[in-house]
Chain A
């Protein structure tokens, strides 16, 4: 059974970099596409982008200048870096595996709060 688990700091200061990892178990990380999706408290889902081990990533244009997503096959992890964060980046961040072009397996999500 595929399992995904996000980890990282729950609190990040404004203007700093948000860094999250997602550890994948139960499946090969190199043959799938992966995505990061976020959800501000009490609000809807926002697609941030998707990426794979071998292909070029596709980021949401409004985030493209600040975001980096990558795959580390040696650790079976995918990662997210978001620079210059503001309070608007406060959200639950989900990693998800893509199959048939859509998320099928999701992590449980991790809340990141941007505050000084």
Chain B
């Protein structure tokens, strides 16, 4: 199985901050990585696919970079609506795997 490790597990930030979340894969997954946002009691919402492609309707303050084994999700100018959990998902293999999640909380 391909393991995904996100860091940090929790991140405290303020409105307006630039926030970066990292996702590291245990082996190369090329660009087969997606990012999701999840709010309490709701299903995840797709933000980024193919490592850096912004899903339709997602604000441009969200961006993704990386390839191979290291990936980042950046939120440029954190908004109140962005306080949530974020998960990466690899889809290089039939057995998809998620990172353990990063909670972005209010500082």
* A-facing residues in B2-49 (Cβ within 8 Å): 32, 34, 36, 38, 42-46, 49
With A102-B89, A102-B91 in contact, do A47 and B43 touch (Cβ < 8 Å)? no
- Chain B interface residue count, CB cutoff 8 Å, equals 23
Question: Which A residues lie within 8 Å of B87 (CB)?
Answer: 44-45
- Chain A contact surface mostly: strand
A-side residues, CB < 8 A to B, are 35, 44-47, 50, 58, 60-61, 94, 96, 100-104, 106-109
Q: Offer 23 A-B interface pairs, CB within 8 angstroms, sorted by A.
A: A44-B87, A45-B36, A45-B89, A45-B101, A47-B95, A47-B97, A47-B98, A50-B94, A58-B94, A58-B95, A61-B95, A100-B49, A100-B50, A101-B91, A102-B34, A102-B46, A102-B89, A102-B96, A103-B46, A104-B46, A106-B45, A108-B43, A109-B43
